[in-house]
Amino acid sequence: MSYKGILLCLATMLYIPGQGRSQEYDFEIPEIEERNLEFSGNLDAKWGLLGSRKDSPFYPLQNLPATTDDYLSQYRLDFYLDGEYRFEELGVFVKSFSQYVRQEPIDPSLFELYGSLNLSPRLSMSLGKRRYNWGKGYAFNPVGYINAQKDPENPDLALAGLSALSLDFNRSLEGHNLQNFSLSGVVLIPEAEDNTRFAPASQIGMALKFYLLVRDVDIELMTLYRRGQARRYGADFAANLKTNLEMHGELDYAVDEDTYRILNGDPVHRRRSGLSYLLGIRYLTATNTTLVAEFYHRSNGMNKAEFVDYVAYVQDGAKDDLSPDAEVNRAIANDLFRSKNLMRDYAYAKLTHPEPFSLLYSSVAAFVIYNLQDESFVLSPQFAFKPFTNFEFLCWPSLLAGGAEAEYGSRTFQRRIEFWMRFFF
């Protein structure tokens, strides 16, 4: 076709009504269906081989099977199920935990069950059983007033929360040294006592936290008040000194904290005020290895001599099961002195490196917890491998060493190795 023919066709299209003009089309964009309800979780199959320390003073208190074997085996299944429902400004969250150890009915427990509501872009509230994560420390949290008690040997372990009503106000600022601040108020609701549905109203408590972001430095101030417990005042901070170096710290002052000691062979209860603090760093090397190091001091913790007295007290109470004080001593050993860090000074260090020797989907790690009072320690390397989607394999040996009257040297197990297979969904 010649160019004259093309021009003639274009002229014809312009002449015919409705042709050659832009037309309006209606496109119906399908609405994206919002996933209001979601479920996730994981199933952990764990098998452990534990080398017992039969001369440990705590060995008779653990209800271990009567055997002459130096090693004990343990198998268990841990099942976590998380649910989340969102509708506009409302959210409901649940986290349940079930464990199978032997042929008995499984009793699920709720780690979390709470609802949240965004009252405005700056104000939100929540009510129910919820886990909180106050503080900047990794292995220790002296200002974690409303946190579940953390296990320094497994800081990432999911634990149960507490019942509370919380209000959170948040405000962002531009063009100021103060870039953000928030205020959190938490009303602590007491749990019902055993065999009843009620709890004393006097156990209602209050926790407050004030957060500031000043020139890329996180600062938090917090306090806790609950009748019958120590009043606590704390602060923490976290700052990036370099792109690969972060420093964090926590400071806690407890007023009239409950402490227990053994004096002349008997337990003595006292109230002491004391200062606790933590200082740590997180450093990323050029080889992509992450180092976390922390020092933790607890002024109301035991010193070496006090822990030796405690060990002697436990030994005396466990020598003769027929003694009228035996059960009392066992209860005291298990309750009054129950803590993951009974003593005064600890050092913690952990190294993590992804894909060693170019092995894809793997990582290696190792941590040590060192008790500076009695020079006992825990040393634990780890190897993780994710060969398939939603599947992880973990090998986790541990060695606990120290003197017979030291914290880690007197533990029931002196070595252990665990194998985990974890399935995610």
Q: Which tokens is 74 given?
A: 């343990």
Is residue 169 assigned to a domain?
yes
Q: What percent of the chain has pLDDT over 90?
A: 65
Give which of 108, 187, 178, 181 is closest to 146, Cα–Cα. Answer: 187
Instruction: Tell whether the torsion through CA atoms of 250, 253, 259 and 261 is positive or negative.
Output: positive
Kindly tell me if the per-residue pLDDT of 420 is higher than 90: yes
Is residue 278 assigned to a domain?
yes
Tell me the HSE value of 395 on the side-chain side, using a 13 A CA sphere.
5
Q: Would you give the distance in Å from CA 19 to the centre of its chain? A: 69
Q: What is the pLDDT of residue 370?
A: 98
Give which of 148, 158, 187 is closest to 95, Cα–Cα. Answer: 158
- Gap between the Cα atoms of 349 and 381, Å rounded: 12
| Helix, strand, coil content of the chain in percent (nearest 5) | 10, 50, 35
Q: What is the pLDDT of residue 304?
A: 94
Task: Give the residue-averaged pLDDT of 128-145.
Answer: 96
Task: Give the residue-averaged pLDDT of 365-382.
Answer: 97
Q: What percent of the chain has pLDDT over 70?
A: 87
Q: What is the pLDDT of residue 140?
A: 95
Task: Give the residue-averaged pLDDT of 332-352.
Answer: 83
- Gap between the Cα atoms of 378 and 407, Å rounded: 10
Is residue 15 assigned to a domain?
no
Is residue 23 assigned to a domain?
no
Q: Which tokens is 173 given?
A: 């600022």
**306: helix, coil or strand?**
helix
pLDDT tens string 327-339: 555 555 556 677 7
Q: What is the pLDDT of residue 27?
A: 47
Task: Give the residue-averaged pLDDT of 153-179.
Answer: 91
- Gap between the Cα atoms of 190 and 204, Å rounded: 6
For residues 112 and 130, is the Cβ–Cβ distance under 8 A? Answer: yes
Residues facing residue 246 across a β-bridge: 240, 282
> Could you list the residue range(s) of the whole structural domain that residue 375 is in?
38-424
Q: Please name the amino acid found at residue 62.
A: Q
pLDDT tens string 258-304: 888 888 888 888 999 999 999 999 999 999 999 999 999 999 999 99
CATH code for the domain in which residue 378 is found: 2.40.160.100
Is residue 26 assigned to a domain?
no
Q: 56-90 burial by CB neighbour count: b if 16+ within 10 A, else e?
A: bbbbbbeeeeeeeeeebeeeeebbbbbbeeeeeee
**102: helix, coil or strand?**
coil
Residues facing residue 162 across a β-bridge: 130
Is residue 12 assigned to a domain?
no
Is residue 414 assigned to a domain?
yes
For residues 58 and 64, is the Cβ–Cβ distance under 8 A? Answer: no
What is the pTM assigned to this prediction? 0.85
Is residue 33 assigned to a domain?
no
Q: What is the pLDDT of residue 340?
A: 82
Instruction: Tell whether the torsion through CA atoms of 379, 134, 392 and 293 is positive or negative.
Output: negative
Domains in the chain: how many in total? 1
